[in-house]
Amino acid sequence: MGACALGYAFVSAVHEGVAEHLETVGSGAPEERRDRPWRVIVWNDPVTLMSYVVVVFRRILGYDLETATKLMLQVHTEGKAVVATQPRERAEVTVAQLHAHGLQATLAHD
């Protein structure tokens, strides 16, 4: 079996690494927790046109027509939708672009 070739020490080291990472995530300072992916959320507003939201999603997030339309409808009917999950810096760029296009976008993570 290929897995045996890795040896116990390697597997154990990986487990320790994961455990250490989880500890960091669970109890670490806010700066450390920021490394986890952030959700980019777009919120409904009363005037922005549905067709405009679709083209903005396609342009900024690179979605095809079907995905962009699905997300737009989710924003419209449910009041919000997670449109992307990205590392913090990337997510901030995405939100800034959405704001520049006049969309209500926020960042959140667990």
Nearer to another protein, 15 or 36 (CB): 36
Nearer to another protein, 7 or 62 (CB): 62
22 counts as binding another protein under rule CB under 8 A: no
Nearer to another protein, 9 or 47 (CB): 47
- Dihedral sign for Cα 98, 62, 107, 28, please: negative
Nearest CA-CA partner of 40 in 11, 10, 63, 17:
63
CA separation for the pair 18, 29 (Å, rounded): 18
Nearer to another protein, 5 or 47 (CB): 47
- Dihedral sign for Cα 71, 49, 98, 58, please: positive
Q: For residue 79, give the DSSP letter.
A: S
> Binding mask 42-81 vs another protein (x if CB under 8 A, - otherwise)?
--xxxxxx-xx--x--xx----------------x-----
Count of chain residues binding another protein (CB under 8 A): 25
Q: For 41, phi and psi rounded to 5 degrees? A: -115, 130
82 counts as binding another protein under rule CB under 8 A: no
CA separation for the pair 61, 109 (Å, rounded): 19
Residues that bind another protein (CB under 8 A): 44-49, 51-52, 55, 58-59, 76, 92, 95-96, 99-108
